[in-house]
């Protein structure tokens, strides 16, 4: 009871945030089911599995409640806060959730990667200056695999494109991706999945330079890159 009563008070705008209001119900229900399995099915407490199930259930329930939301299950699972951003700011029209130009002296590369239901993947991205002018863009297929791999490949392709460009020697770069998992991995390779560790380590070499930054952003700030990615999938 204390958990339910305290939860709305932790978030000043909870009345307009469906994701935030959904979480306590998911937590209580998931714990109840897990306790049942321990008591009656001889299973053991597995906190990692329980957390994973909670995150997946949050994504499933949110998609069921907001069927018109243009968010994938993978996106909500990776970062539930993007659903909060969607609820609170009406997605595209929000100033907070819209793309922001880089400061003078920087260029910004927004990238995205995704796969369809058949496993066919695409990557896309665009490089812009402080005025918002597009300097480079790409949209291409990325073979078959997972959405996480596609996100990594989109960053890799953006880095390779920038290194070959006329701006690489004189301009600082900001890379923005809406995949929090991949951004965290590249920032701290030791936290990455072993399957992608070698590729992540290669990208980290660039990010450790003072001239390079990588950031996680909401999907709503990455709409142009998302459009290019879907075009790349075909």
Q: What is the pLDDT of residues 191-211, one digit of tens each?
A: 888 889 999 999 999 888 778
Same domain, 88 and 128: no
Q: What is the pLDDT of residue 177?
A: 95
Same domain, 129 and 198: yes
Per DSSP, which regions of 83-169 are E strands?
A: 106-115, 120-128, 134-144
- 38, two tokens: 């321990």
CA-nearest of 122, 144, 127 to 224 is: 127
* Of 79 and 141, the one with more pLDDT: 141
Q: What is the pLDDT of residue 69?
A: 62
Summarize the confidence of residues 25-44 as an average pLDDT.
93
Q: What is the pLDDT of residue 12?
A: 61
Q: What is the pLDDT of residue 102?
A: 92
CA gap 123, 115 in Å, rounded = 9
3-state secondary structure of 137: strand
Q: What is the pLDDT of residue 5?
A: 79
Which domain covers residue 32, as residue numbers?
2-92
Split at pLDDT 50, 70, 90, the class of 176 is very high
Same domain, 80 and 181: no
Same domain, 135 and 201: yes
CA gap 68, 70 in Å, rounded = 6
Q: What is the pLDDT of residue 129?
A: 94
Q: What is the pLDDT of residues 106-132, one digit of tens each?
A: 999 999 999 988 889 999 999 999 999
Residue 149 CA: distances (Å) to CA of 53, 117, 137, 156, 190? 22, 15, 20, 10, 17
Q: What is the pLDDT of residue 88?
A: 57
Same domain, 154 and 112: yes
Same domain, 136 and 198: yes
Same domain, 149 and 211: yes
**The pLDDT of residue 234 is above 70:** yes
Same domain, 16 and 65: yes
Split at pLDDT 50, 70, 90, the class of 6 is confident
Which residues, in sequence order, are bridge partners of residue 122? 114, 141
Same domain, 53 and 145: no
Same domain, 42 and 66: yes
Same domain, 24 and 109: no
pTM above 0.75, yes or no: no
Q: What is the pLDDT of residue 157?
A: 96
Residue 22 makes CB contacts below 8 A (sequence gap 6+) with: 58, 61, 62, 65
Whether 180 and 217 have beta carbons less than 8 Å apart is answered as no
Split at pLDDT 50, 70, 90, the class of 86 is low
**The pLDDT of residue 141 is above 50:** yes
Residue whose structure tokens are 């951003």: 85
Summarize the confidence of residues 11-27 as an average pLDDT.
79
Query: Number of structural domains, the chain?
Result: 2
- 166 exposure class (CB count in 10 Å sphere: 0-12, 13-18, 19+): exposed
């Amino acid at each position: 009871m204390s958990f339910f009563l305290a939860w709305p008070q932790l978030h000043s705008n909870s009345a307009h945030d469906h994701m935030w209001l959904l979480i306590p119900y998911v937590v209580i229900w998931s714990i109840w089911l897990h306790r049942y399995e321990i008591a009656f099915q001889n299973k053991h407490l597995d906190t990692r599995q329980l957390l994973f199930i909670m995150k997946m259930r949050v994504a499933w329930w949110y998609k069921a409640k907001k069927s018109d939301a243009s968010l994938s299950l993978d996106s909500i699972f990776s970062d539930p806060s993007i659903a909060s951003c969607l609820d609170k700011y009406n997605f595209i029209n929000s100033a907070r959730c819209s793309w922001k130009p880089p400061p003078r002296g920087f260029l910004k590369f927004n990238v995205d990667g995704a796969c369809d239901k058949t496993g066919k993947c695409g990557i896309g991205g665009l490089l812009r200056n402080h005025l918002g002018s597009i300097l480079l863009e790409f949209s291409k297929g990325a073979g078959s695999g997972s959405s996480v791999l596609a996100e990594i490949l989109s960053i890799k392709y953006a880095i390779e494109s920038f290194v070959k460009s006329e701006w690489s020697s004189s301009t600082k770069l900001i890379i923005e991706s809406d995949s929090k998992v991949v951004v965290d991995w590249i920032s701290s390779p030791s936290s990455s999945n072993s399957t992608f560790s070698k590729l992540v380590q290669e990208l980290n070499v660039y990010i450790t330079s003072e001239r390079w930054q990588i950031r996680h952003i909401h999907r709503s700030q990455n709409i142009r890159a998302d459009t290019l990615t879907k075009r790349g999938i075909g």
